[in-house]
Amino acid sequence: MTPAATLPDRYERILKKTLKDLQDVKFALDASAIVAISNVRGDIIYANPKFCEISKYPREELIGRNHRILKSGSHSDAFYADMWRTITAGRVWRGEIQNRAKDGALYWVDTTIVPLLKDNGKPYRYVSIRYEITSRKAMEAEIHQMNEALEQRVAQRTAELNRANRELRETIEKLQESERLRETFISALTHDLRTPLVAQQRAFEIMDTHKSQLPERLAGLFERLEKSNAGLLEMVGKLLEINQYEAGKIHLRMEPVNLAELAGESLNDVSLLAESKGITLINRLKKSLPDIPGDRHQLKRVFINLIGNAVDHVPPDSRVELRDVIHDHYVEIECRDNGPGIAPDVLPHLFDRFFVVHRTRKKIGSGLGLYICKMIMGLHNGKIRVESVVGKGTSFFLTLPRYPSQPKYPSPHAMRHKEPPAKGV
């Protein structure tokens, strides 16, 4: 057999293989896609089984009909005009279309329309390949609705928060205005009170030189009036001072302060009162205690207040002592007594303004001393706290930074003494 004799057989094999490949491609398309072929007018000349299945039209009702038979009315005329301009120009068009089946059901298809061109570049056929995406579009619509609902809820919640913020700002402004009025009232009241009290104090001082000439009954009354006036004058002075503290008008005169020396002076100032009550004052502060930055006058007021309070509220033969602990960045001073102690429900309120102890301690004061101490410690970037056990005693702790730049203080647990307490405390 000559080579020439075998040439037709070779062409036949090639043609059969090409045909088989085309049949395989068609089978794959028919199994997965909706395929239609139309002429240049858009009339359907071929529809595969999937096209008939989804459109609910038999093939004989589709062939020869225009694709307009599937229009759902969901798209504008401009949508279809753009599609037609694209494919008649020989370009591929891609998009998502909602069609209507024969039974009226709507469905979505992801569509690609490919123009088949003549030698002159003009289309002579259009092949449409579509994939149903109805479920996906339904899910997208549901997600869109959920997003809209969420956006509405967010917008509603934002409006509620904005309204709440406005109300909060208005409330804060009212409170600030109320506080300003209160401060003005207190300032004016205390100033007006102080003037006659000072005048009375001067009168008492003048009268004091002639007290010996008064009858015994009037002399006793004079002493009570003088003491009462002095107490009122002191309270008015504290109110004025608190008003200055809260208004930020108190400025510290910072300098190196020797706490051991300051504590010694404070104990000495209270010593006569302590001796008159039989109270023992003990100074356990180390002489090597480092200097700390502070306002000496203001810190001494805190020391005298704590020591004086302890002396006032413990029974005779009690002890009041000062101890210290040096931390890396802080110095802690403890003022400890072995008096009756303070009830647990009272402790959280000791540093409140105008709070007075009336359950376990005898003397009733103005409720301003410890409040002022707390403000002074705050100005020093320090802290004051209290621990007490009823029947055993009370300890006030002052924590002061050793360096000007130290911004915080340690936790109460870290500040506890490691040494055992003194006997009876």
DSSP-derived secondary structure for 178-239 = HHHHHHHHHHHHHHHHHHHHHHHHHHHHHHHTTGGGS-HHHHHHHHHHHHHHHHHHHHHHHH
Q: How far apart are CA 336 and CA 333, in angstroms?
A: 10
106 three-state secondary structure:
strand
71, β-bridge pairs: 99
**Cα distance between residue 315 and residue 204, in whole Å:** 32
User: Which stretches of 45-133 are DSSP H helices?
Assistant: 49-55, 59-62, 77-88
The structure tokens 């005693």 sit at 393
Would you say 370 and 307 are in contact if contact means Cβ atoms under 8 Å apart?
no
The whole-angstrom separation of Cα 38 and Cα 61 is: 14
Q: How many Å apart are CA 280 and CA 191, to the nearest integer?
A: 39
Contact 98, 72 (CB under 8 A): yes
For residue 313, give every residue at least 6 positions away whose Cβ sits within 8 Å of its Cβ, in sequence order, or none: 337, 339, 340, 357, 361, 362, 363
- What number of other Cβ atoms are within 10 A of residue 339's Cβ? 25
Give every residue of the chain whose pLDDT is below 50, as ranges.
1, 359-364, 406-425
Q: Name the maximum alpha-carbon separation found in the chain.
A: 165
pTM exceeding 0.95: no
Torsion of Cα atoms, 217 then 219 then 221 then 224, to 10°: -140
| Helix, coil or strand: residue 73 | coil
Sign of CA dihedral 25, 26, 30, 35: positive
Cα–Cα dist 148/59, whole Å? 42
243, two tokens: 């008003």
Q: Residue written as tokens 């004091």?
A: 208
Q: Rounded distance, CA 97 to CA 75, Å?
A: 8
Phi, psi of 346 (to 5 degrees): -90, -30
CA 238, CA 380: separation in Å to the nearest integer?
19
- Using DSSP bridges, classify how beta strands 123-132 and 34-38 pair: parallel, antiparallel or unpaired: antiparallel
Q: How many whole angstroms separate alpha carbon 373 and alpha carbon 242? A: 11
368 contacts 376 by C-beta, under 8 angstroms? no
- How is residue 236 written in tokens? 């008015």
pLDDT value at residue 176? 82
pLDDT value, residue 406 = 45
Select from 305, 271, 283, 311 the least CA-distant residue to 398: 305
Measured distance CA(128)–CA(334) in Å, rounded: 92
| 8 A C-beta contact, residue 368 and residue 239 | yes
